[in-house]
């Protein structure tokens, strides 16, 4: 059976069955690539932004696990300044 034939048969199924197939294929793909579903969604979002021309390139090297060092500022916390500026 060809890929086209398989896709045609899947399109004939009820929505809940197509969703089960989609989830199974998605799970299999994530296991093969060792990528979490969240990371996969982020990558897809980045590809969409690139395709729409919102970004010029997908940033590389960004890692949420990198050590984050906040910038020290003097005076009141920035969050309080923002609240005051909003008049809240």
Q: Is residue 28 part of a domain?
A: yes
Rounded distance, CA 8 to CA 10, Å? 5
User: Which tens digit of pLDDT belongs to each residue from 25-83?
Assistant: 887 776 666 667 787 788 889 889 989 999 888 877 666 666 777 788 888 888 898 99
The predicted pLDDT at position 35 comes to: 64
The answer to whether residue 3 is domain-embedded is yes
Residue 9 lies in a domain: yes
Q: What are the Cα distances from residue 6, in Å, to 10, 19, 48, 79?
A: 6, 15, 27, 54
Q: What is the pLDDT of residue 26?
A: 83
Instruction: Find the domain containing 6 and state its range.
Output: 1-58
The residue with tokens 């729409």 is 52
Residue 77 lies in a domain: no
| Domain count across the chain | 1
82: left (phi over 0), alpha (psi -120 to 50) or beta: alpha
């Amino acid at each position: 059976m060809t890929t086209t034939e398989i896709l045609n048969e899947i399109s004939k199924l009820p929505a809940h069955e197509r969703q089960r197939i989609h989830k199974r294929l998605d799970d299999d793909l994530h296991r093969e690539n060792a990528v979490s579903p969240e990371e996969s969604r982020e990558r897809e979002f980045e590809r969409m932004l690139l395709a729409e021309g919102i970004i010029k390139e997908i940033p590389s090297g960004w890692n949420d696990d990198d050590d984050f060092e906040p910038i020290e500022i003097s005076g009141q916390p920035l969050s309080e300044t923002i609240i005051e500026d909003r008049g809240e």
